[in-house]
């Protein structure tokens, strides 16, 4: 079976709930505290592809930094948004669960269970 990884923020109740849900289903995910160990721009691009999302879809738009950096400007390129997330991981929506060539955003936590339905 492929490795399960969660981009986790232990201070976030949704992230904690998603981790708990994975554990309740017998999974022992690798926990990456992405605020301490941020993904690179290349990693983010790969994950966005797995999620089938555009960069803005994975951004925390209510985060004060989003407004401060003017990230609501539709003229900003996807590459610039990805670079900004890599530089400021607080902007990355959480939690993200990775499983092989698939990924899911745990909002709500039950979304991640779809990754394992074909097993």
- For position 58, what pLDDT does the model report? 98
Quote the CA–CA distance of 84 and 41 in Å, as a whole number: 8
Instruction: Tell me how far the alpha carbon of residue 54 is from its chain's centroid.
Output: 12
DSSP string, the chain: ---EEEEE-TT-HHHHHHHHHHHHTT--PEEEETTTSPPPHHHHHHHHHHHT--GGGGB-TTSHHHHHTTTT-TTS-HHHHHHHHHH-GGGB-S-EEEETTEEEE-SSGGGGGGGGTT-
pLDDT at 114: 93
Cis peptide before 75 (omega within 30 of 0): no
Instruction: Given the residues 12, 31, 46, 69, select the one marked as catalytic.
Output: 12
Structural domain boundaries in the chain? 4-116
For this structure, is 89 an active site residue? no
Fold of 4-116: Glutaredoxin (3.40.30)
Instruction: Determine the straight-line distance between the first and last CA of the chain, rounded to whole angstroms.
Output: 9
Q: What is the C-alpha separation between 56 and 68, in angstroms, rounded? A: 15
Average pLDDT score over the chain: 96
Per-residue pLDDT of the chain (119 residues; tens, 9 = 90+): 689 999 999 999 999 999 999 999 999 999 999 999 999 999 999 999 999 999 999 999 999 999 999 999 999 999 999 999 999 999 999 999 999 999 999 999 999 999 998 76
Provide the pLDDT for residue 119.
60
What is the structure's pLDDT at 117?
Answer: 83
- pTM score, two decimals? 0.94
């Amino acid at each position: 079976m492929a490795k399960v990884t969660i981009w986790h923020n232990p201070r976030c109740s949704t992230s904690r709930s998603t981790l708990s849900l994975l554990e309740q289903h017998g999974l022992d995910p690798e926990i990456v505290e992405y605020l301490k160990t941020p993904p690179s721009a290349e990693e983010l691009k790969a994950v966005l592809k797995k999620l089938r999302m555009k960069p803005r879809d994975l951004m925390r738009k209510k985060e004060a930094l989003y407004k401060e950096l003017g990230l609501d400007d539709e003229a900003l390129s996807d590459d610039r948004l990805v670079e900004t997330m890599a530089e400021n991981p607080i902007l990355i929506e959480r939690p993200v669960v990775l499983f092989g060539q698939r990924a899911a955003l745990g909002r709500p936590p039950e979304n991640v269970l779809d990754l394992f339905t074909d097993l």
